[in-house]
Amino acid sequence: MLPTNPPKFFGRRKGRVIRCAKSALLEKFLPQIRINKQQIITPSIFSIPVSKIYLEIGFGNGEHLAEQARRHPDIGFIGAEVFQNGIANLLTLITGIKIKDDLTDNIELTTDRVDNIRIFDDDMRLLFSKIPDNSLDKIFLLFPDPWPKKRHENRRFVNPENLKELARCLKSGGILRIATDHKIYKHWTLRQLHDCPYFRWTATCGNDWKHEPTDWVQTKYQRKALREGRRAVFLDYQKI
């Protein structure tokens, strides 16, 4: 059952007009890999055997999700995103379909299609109740919307309620990775996680959280931040 009062979502669901090929992918391919609101998240939602499940929240244009899934074909990836244009972009990355204006009906998937991703195309908070306790191995929350104004801080995804849910979903020893380039959000996140009893920060030396982790894939927001002179921090927390 869905909550009777779904949480209010403050971000954008749509941007620029979605061109032909991408809109055909949304219409014809997304239903094949979409997680519907009744499904419980277990390894059986993937059409291939998977040894672990990773979740990426707010995957944006999907570069990180697509590349991680390509690198780890034995892991099942769940991506949650509300922004239709971003979802459409992810679909082009995982189907190998090139953007051509004239693509309409015939969607032919290339043989190297990434097949270990399932998508929840709505607010992540609506998915929590479908994820069993201790079932995820890793969660990525990369460059969440910072909502920097004080009066908007209750919109920030990192908050005690969501952290409790993320901890419940993660296996013991599982990792929550948060990246941000925003000064206010960095302090906010460090404070929230410091006060949260379910996680321990894995940073081992003074500076390692200021460098990209070895398995990192750059995202659109990170590149934008770098162009504008902002360096990101990479915060890995382990569920206790």
Ligand X SMILES: C[S@@+](CC[C@H](N)C(=O)[O-])C[C@H]1O[C@@H](n2cnc3c(N)ncnc32)[C@H](O)[C@@H]1O
- List the structure tokens of 9: 């979502």
Q: Which is nearer to ligand X, 69 or 82 (CB)?
A: 82
Q: Counting contacts by CB under 6 A, is residue 174 touching ligand X?
A: no
Handedness of CA 122, 126, 132, 137 (dihedral sign): positive
Q: Which is nearer to ligand X, 92 or 103 (CB)?
A: 92
- Please pick, from the candidates 77, 188, 199, 221, the single residue that binds ligand X as defined by CB under 6 A: 221
The least distance separating ligand X from the CB of residue 108, rounded to whole angstroms, comes to 28
- Please pick, from the candidates 22, 60, 84, 170, the single residue that binds ligand X as defined by CB under 6 A: 60
The least distance separating ligand X from the CB of residue 49, rounded to whole angstroms, comes to 27
Active-site option among 115, 122, 137, 145 = 145
Q: Binding marks (x or -) toward ligand X, 141..170, rule CB under 6 A? A: -xxxx-----------x-------------
Active site residue 122: no
- List the structure tokens of 209: 């959280």
- Please pick, from the candidates 198, 202, 220, 238, the single residue that binds ligand X as defined by CB under 6 A: 220
- List the structure tokens of 128: 């929590």
Closest to 78 in 3D by CA, of 29, 122, 27, 25: 122
Q: Counting contacts by CB under 6 A, is residue 123 touching ligand X?
A: yes
Closest to 120 in 3D by CA, of 67, 167, 154, 76: 76
The least distance separating ligand X from the CB of residue 145, rounded to whole angstroms, comes to 5
Q: How many angstroms separate the Cα of 66 from the Cα of each of 91, 189, 200? A: 9, 26, 28
Q: Counting contacts by CB under 6 A, is residue 95 touching ligand X?
A: no
Write phi, then psi, for 107 (nearest 5 degrees).
-100, 110
Beta strands in the chain (DSSP E): 52-57, 75-80, 117-120, 136-142, 170-180, 199-201, 233-239
Q: Which stretch binds ligand X (CB under 6 A): 75-83, 110-118, 181-189, 227-235?
A: 75-83
Q: Which is nearer to ligand X, 143 or 188 (CB)?
A: 143
Q: How many angstroms separate the Cα of 72 from the Cα of each of 64, 169, 233? A: 12, 21, 24
Helix (H) or strand (E) holding 87: helix 84-95
**Positions in the binding site for ligand X (CB under 6 A):** 11, 57-61, 80-83, 86, 123-125, 142-145, 157, 219-222
Residues known to be catalytic = 145
